[in-house]
Amino acid sequence: MAIPCLALSLGGCVGSEGPSEAEPSGAAEQDADAGQLGADPVGATMLVHVEYQTEEKLNWLVSEFDVLEHADRAKGYVAMLVEPESYERLLDEGFAVEIQHEPTEELASMVSGFRSISGYACYRTVEETATDMSTLASDYSDLVELIDIGDSWDKVTPGGSSGYDIAGMIVTNENIAGPKPRFFLMGSIHAREYATAELAIRFAEEMITNYGTDPDATWLLDNFELHVVPHANPDGRKIAEQGYTQRKNRNTSSGYCSYPPTSYSQHGVDLNRNHSFKFGGAGTSTRACNLTYRRTSASEPETQALETYMSSIFADQRGPNDNDAAPADTTGLMITLHSYSPLVLFPWSWSAAGAPNLTELRTLGRKFGYHNGYPVCQAPVCLYAASGSTDDWAYGTLGIAAFTFEVGTSFFQSCASFESTIVPDNFAALREAFKAARRPYQTPAGPDATSVAVSASSVVAGTSVTLTADIDDTRYNSNGWGSEATQNIAAARYTIDQPSWSGATTHAMAATDGTFNATTEGATTTIDTTGWTAGRYLLMVEGQDANGNWGAPSAVFLDVL
């Protein structure tokens, strides 16, 4: 049945029969561009749980409403943001709808009345992020190179706002020549997901500022490249920074949608449904104002910029058919950060069928799950289908390992929660990803080297030191979505200054208890520094399991006087 439309603060009207909302006036557009969108950005928005009985009903909900990245497959419900008219429509369609009162009240209290992201001091605006990246490039010129991968919709569309460059950084020790394995990290393709852009730039800053003092940050930036794009959707993010639940980009050409944006109707295209691989399938909408609107083709400048850039830094390593697996020695890894609902998701998103590299993707995902405690699963199996997504494009087109991290418990995550939980939980997972970037389908199957230490951090040349480490093949956790087989440790080794794959001489380590015969073992060796010249040395330790898999190295500094 048709639901009577509700008047909006700028004269718009939301109904259930497709795009019938009024386009904002020119004056309203000017106010928006000036950061003054006017009315209460949330109003009567509610967070609800909606029960569904079949996969068809779930897919219909995803294509029609603002379905969140939170679902309980066992209980058969999905979380959604709804306006009063959407709530009534769901009831008329026969769905059981349960209002989540506490989160609804929290949403209203967090958003109502503010018009600036300054209400969240831990999150940088689009402009602040760009300024800080420029400062990093100036202060750490040997480690940071600024990149511009393309333009936003506003920037390529004449007659409106000026728009933005889609800006990022390449972080690596530029004094060491490549080619080097690459890890691509991006955030905020969905504009309202505040924590994601900040987490991306924070991780880059962590690597940059700890170079030379943190052994792992040092060998990673010497030997690998980190490519970071914090704001993949800067136009949409500017709307969201004013307290609106804007998900999509700024494209105003596709319909007369609600303005200010609502959780039911807003201008733009869902960029995470607009990629060219498997475009137009399940989990997308053809209705211009819907939150998962895909448009008529993979058309948006933001998604085209992402595809062009990733194609320029990663070789195509997978065949053209859906069942073609990428080779075991594939190099390259990407993670797209989203919120909210703690999850680590891997391809496919367009289909519940397993990706050809399912085993390897699952293994690496469970490494991430060990660190951040998130369930590790395939989106159509534990959440819902989403065609045209970034991770499916990266894996499906190029064959690289690709993941989505869903972080946090809110779009407008509190700074206290962000600092105390999201950052520490995910820094370790992102570092694991960086370490795996060279061989994402091989290295994660091997054990981790942890607690790497020397008996003395600074010695006079000629002094012997003891190098120790724990070699652990148990650091996997799907958090409820299957278990990973573990193997006994078979060997451990170390190299000096260079990783083993570079051709550096490897030195065997012994089991602390005399025999490598358990899934977690101590390893030890004595290093004689006779003849070493004065300087700082990097000792890189790796472990091997009984199946022959070598894990990623971890390192410690040794200063020789």
Q: Which two tokens stand for residue 337?
A: 């950060």
| DSSP bridge partners of 401 | 333
CA 547 – CA 557 distance, rounded (Å)? 30
Kindly state whether residues 430 and 490 are assigned to the same domain: no
Q: Which two tokens stand for residue 300?
A: 């948006």
Instruction: List the pLDDT tens digit at each of the 561 positions of the chain.
Output: 232 222 222 222 222 333 333 333 333 333 333 333 333 334 478 889 999 988 888 888 888 888 887 777 888 888 888 888 888 889 988 999 999 887 777 666 544 433 336 567 899 999 999 999 999 999 999 999 999 999 999 999 998 889 999 999 999 999 999 999 999 999 999 999 999 999 999 999 999 999 999 999 999 999 999 999 999 999 999 999 988 889 999 999 877 899 889 888 999 999 999 999 999 999 999 999 999 999 999 999 999 999 999 999 999 999 999 999 999 999 999 999 999 889 999 999 999 999 999 999 999 999 999 999 999 999 999 989 999 999 999 999 999 999 999 999 888 888 889 999 999 999 999 999 999 999 999 999 999 999 999 999 999 999 999 999 999 999 999 999 999 999 999 999 999 999 999 999 999 999 999 999 999 999 999 999 999 999 999 999 999 999 999 999 999 999 999
Decide if 114 is inside a domain: no
Decide if 2 is inside a domain: no
Kindly state whether residues 336 and 215 are assigned to the same domain: yes
Pick from 84, 39, 341: which is nearest to 193 by CA? 341
Kindly state whether residues 342 and 471 are assigned to the same domain: no
Decide if 112 is inside a domain: no
Kindly state whether residues 362 and 463 are assigned to the same domain: no
Kindly state whether residues 423 and 326 are assigned to the same domain: yes
Buried b (16+ CB within 10 A) or exposed e, 148-180: ebbbbbbbebeeebebbbbbbbbbbbeeeeeeb
Decide if 47 is inside a domain: no
What is the Cβ-side half-sphere exposure of residue 546, based on CA atoms within 13 angstroms?
A: 12
Kindly state whether residues 167 and 146 are assigned to the same domain: yes
Plot region of 424 (φ>0 → left; ψ -120 to 50 → alpha; else → beta): alpha
Kindly state whether residues 504 and 472 are assigned to the same domain: yes
Residue 25 has what pLDDT? Answer: 33
Sign of CA dihedral 273, 279, 282, 287: positive
Kindly state whether residues 300 and 236 are assigned to the same domain: yes
CATH code, domain carrying 306: 3.40.630.10
How many other C-beta atoms are found inside a 10 Å radius of the C-beta of residue 532? 18
CA dihedral 425, 429, 430, 435 (to 10 degrees): 150
Concatenated DSSP letters of 231-274: -S-HHHHHHHTTT----S----SS----SS--SS--SS--GGG-
| DSSP bridge partners of 77 | 51, 72
Residue 118 has what pLDDT? Answer: 58
CA 507 – CA 170 distance, rounded (Å)? 33
CA 486 – CA 63 distance, rounded (Å)? 40
Q: Tokens 């699963």 identify what position?
A: 377
Burial class (CB within 10 angstroms; exposed 0-12, middle 13-18, buried 19+) of 86? buried
How many other C-beta atoms are found inside a 10 Å radius of the C-beta of residue 505? 10
Decide if 105 is inside a domain: no
Decide if 102 is inside a domain: no
Spatial contact of 362 and 346, defined as CB atoms under 8 Å apart: yes
Residue 10 has what pLDDT? Answer: 23
Concatenated DSSP letters of 303-366: HHHHHHHHHHHS---S-SSTTPPPPTT---EEEEEE-SS-EEEES-SS-SSPPTTHHHHHHHHH
Decide if 56 is inside a domain: no
Residue 108 has what pLDDT? Answer: 65
Kindly state whether residues 437 and 520 are assigned to the same domain: no
Would you give the DSSP letter of residue 180?
A: -
Kindly state whether residues 148 and 259 are assigned to the same domain: yes
Pick from 102, 91, 181: which is nearest to 439 by CA? 181
CA 153 – CA 553 distance, rounded (Å)? 42
Residue 6 has what pLDDT? Answer: 25
Spatial contact of 36 and 49, defined as CB atoms under 8 Å apart: no
Spatial contact of 381 and 348, defined as CB atoms under 8 Å apart: no
Spatial contact of 401 and 359, defined as CB atoms under 8 Å apart: no
Spatial contact of 436 and 549, defined as CB atoms under 8 Å apart: no
Spatial contact of 111 and 412, defined as CB atoms under 8 Å apart: yes
Kindly state whether residues 410 and 539 are assigned to the same domain: no
Q: Which residues contact 534 (CB under 8 A, 6 or more apart)?
A: 461, 560, 561
What is the Cβ-side half-sphere exposure of residue 519, based on CA atoms within 13 angstroms?
A: 9
Sign of CA dihedral 126, 244, 424, 540: negative
Query: Domain count of the chain?
Result: 2
Kindly state whether residues 356 and 503 are assigned to the same domain: no
Pick from 137, 153, 133, 156: which is nearest to 145 by CA? 137
End position of a domain, from candidates 443, 465, 496: 443
End position of a domain, from candidates 399, 419, 443: 443
CATH code, domain carrying 523: 2.60.40.770
Decide if 206 is inside a domain: yes
Q: What angle do CA 202, 208, 211 make, to 5 degrees?
A: 135
- Parent domain of 499: 446-560
Q: Which two tokens stand for residue 460?
A: 């006079």
End position of a domain, from candidates 408, 443, 478: 443
